[in-house]
Amino acid sequence: MPQSSTSQSPETRLLETAEESRVYRRLHTAILKTTIKELIATSRLRATLAGLMSLVIWIALFFIMLEGFFFLQREAGAFTEETVEKVLNIFYASLMIMLFFSSAILIYGGIYQSQEIRFLITTPSSAARIFQYKFSEAVFLSGWGFILIGSPMLVAYGIVVDANWHYYVLLLPLMVAFTYIPTGLGAITCLLVVHFFARMRRPIVVASGGIVLGFIAWSVWTILFSRQHELLTPEWFEETMIRLSAAENRLFPSWWLCSGLLEAARRESGRLDYQAWAQAVLFFALLVANAMFLQVVACGIANKILFPSYSRLQTAGRRRRLKGVSWIDATLGRLLLCSPPAIRLLLIKDFRIVRRDPLQWAQFLIFFGLVGLYFLNIKSIQDAAPFAGWVNLVSFLNLLVVGLILSTFTTRFIFPMISLEGQKFWILGLLPIERETILRGKFIFASIGTLIPSSLLILLSDSLLQLPARIIIVHELVCLLLCTGLAAIAVGLGGCIPNMRAISPAKIASGFGGTLNLVLSAVYIIFIVGIAAGPCHLDALVKMGHFSTLFAPNTTFLAMLLGSGIAVFVAAWVIYLMLKLGFRAFCRMEF
């Protein structure tokens, strides 16, 4: 009898689970080897600079955390296990939220917006295996950043409490196991949202915006009508502890992580507390069990809905526009009526390009949102003169953080714009505009687009810290210099070192030019912030009673004016030089 059409010959059978796992393991190994060879052959400078910058960031965070713990011991006398537990819980709860959102974005981009997945779907691979392949990438990309940011505080804490070597042995496994939990939750959320709401993008955006605005309104209301206390008084610490206790929910994975670390660091009469060590191991087992459980659940959900959700998203119909200009672009055009027509049209075009790439700008929106959330939780204080130096240091660290976020934004979005324009330059070349106008429009776009959110964040931080008006003016001036300078660096280098062969903005930003842009931006930020922070910190120290015999208040004010003047001069020179180099190279370039 003839065989049934549904029967499969040995040559066409699907791979078993173990065989499929080996195939994807070989794929991971081949990609890793190729990436390493490519880095060694073509991107040694980028790899070296990335490693050095990561090391510098880790060391800087370590010393900041170490000095913070010593400050609690020396100045506040509040270095107790309860205080440290609350600080660790709020810190790692914030990182857990960041990991959740970043992993959801990575899964969405890696699965639903990836050319590689379009090929893998056509292969005889199960949906669970494809998801597992991208999930491991998301864990790696999210995990290394989490370890880079989170480990300095834990190492500093271990040094302060003189923890046993067992604490350092268990530190990395606890952090790695913890990484899988928010990543798994983010992946599950991404799959479910795409599957059930693929055709409801606008309601989701409106609902999310309403939730965010409501949360901001509630936060502002809470801060404006909360009681104010003197800095580092018992009442101040009591209220701070109450605010931080919200992150101590025992159902939070961040609480499991912090509890395991605190138990591992505990010592009894200078010796290892074996009962506490056993508790730390149990917390580690709890993290591992939940990480494995969430991974199994995520793979099961992906096996059921990955292919249908992918098809639903790709076939989701778009409402046909009756007009070529959206209301957002029309509103922006009316706001820019005073600008030249060519600049106005270029600004609208660049804004439209960025607006249509939510996969990338959503990450920076999350970063700015978390920074704003942190600023909103800075309590307004009274009589902070004895600690004016610390308050001033915190304010400039906030400014430095905003500047570093801006540098990643300009590197990721502004720098690749020139290369992407070059691929389609024949369209712009037909317009009756000069090439310099194109770069000038991108510079204005980047400057305005970064200045508005960053200046508002800095103003919020300074207002809550109740800084003097002259310090706020210096901060806003530095913010203006950072936005314009970083925009000029990105536009200038983009015109000098374009990559016309790459079609992916991420690949352009990760190349030599993008790496150089990030390094120069970091150097520029450190110099501008440092030259402005020095005189301001001297003024704060004089208020605290230090150097009062050497410097009069008028002297410190003149020093602030001098530092601000030097910062303005350096920023103007950098802007002029980078734009001039970019204009010259872009005008001489042949397409």
Measure the CA–CA gap between 500 and 508, rounded to whole angstroms. Answer: 9
Q: Which percentage of the chain shows pLDDT scores above 70?
A: 71
3-state class (DSSP) for residue 382: strand
Give strand pairing partners of 267: 272
Classify residue 363: in a domain, yes or no: yes
The answer to the question of residue 306 being in a domain is: yes
Q: Do 149 and 296 belong together in one domain?
A: yes
Angle value at C-alpha 488, between 59 and 355, nearest 5 degrees: 90
Helix (H, G, I), strand (E, B) or coil at 512: helix
State the average pLDDT over residues 137-154.
Answer: 83
Say if CB 516 and CB 537 are below 8 A apart.
no
The yes-or-no verdict on residue 466 having pLDDT over 50 is yes
Judgement on whether residues 366 and 456 belong to the same structural domain of the protein = yes
Residue 10 lies in a domain: no
**Distance between start and end Cα atoms, the chain:** 67
Whether residues 134 and 205 share a domain: the answer is: yes
pLDDT band at 67 (very low <50, low <70, confident <90, very high): confident
Q: Are 125 and 16 in contact (CB under 8 A)?
A: no
At 257-272, the pLDDT tens digits run: 988 888 888 776 656 6
The total number of structural domains that make up the chain:
3
The answer to whether residues 83 and 148 touch, using CB atoms and an 8 Å cutoff, is no
Query: What pLDDT is attached to residue 184?
Result: 92
Q: Do residue 549 and residue 405 come from a single domain?
A: yes
In this structure, are strands 381-382 and 229-230 parallel, antiparallel, or unpaired? parallel
pLDDT in tens, 208-235: 656 666 665 665 565 555 555 455 555 5
Domain presence at residue 178: yes
Are 304 and 224 contained in the same domain? yes
% residues pLDDT > 90 (the chain): 10
Best-predicted range by mean pLDDT (71-85, 257-271, 469-483):
469-483
Select the more confidently predicted residue: 129 or 241: 129
CA 494 remoteness from chain centre? 22
Is position 40 within any domain?
A: no
Residue 25 lies in a domain: no
How far apart CA 393 and CA 555 sit, in angstroms, is 20
Spell out the residues 6+ positions from residue 442 whose beta carbon is closer than 8 angstroms to its own: 346, 350, 414, 417, 418, 487, 491, 494
Burial of 427 (0-12, 13-18, 19+ CB in 10 A): exposed
- E runs forming strands in 386-499: none
Q: Tell whether 352 and 363 lie within a shared domain.
A: no
Over the stretch 148-203, which tens digit does the pLDDT of each residue have? 888 888 888 888 888 888 888 888 899 999 999 999 999 999 899 888 877 666 66
Are residues 170 and 227 both part of a single domain? yes
User: What is the Rg, in whole angstroms, of the alpha carbon atoms belonging to the chain?
Assistant: 27
> For residue 6, what pLDDT is reported?
44
**Residue appearing with tokens 């990721």:** 412
Quick one: 368 and 233 in the same domain?
A: no
- The residue range of the domain holding 50 is 46-317
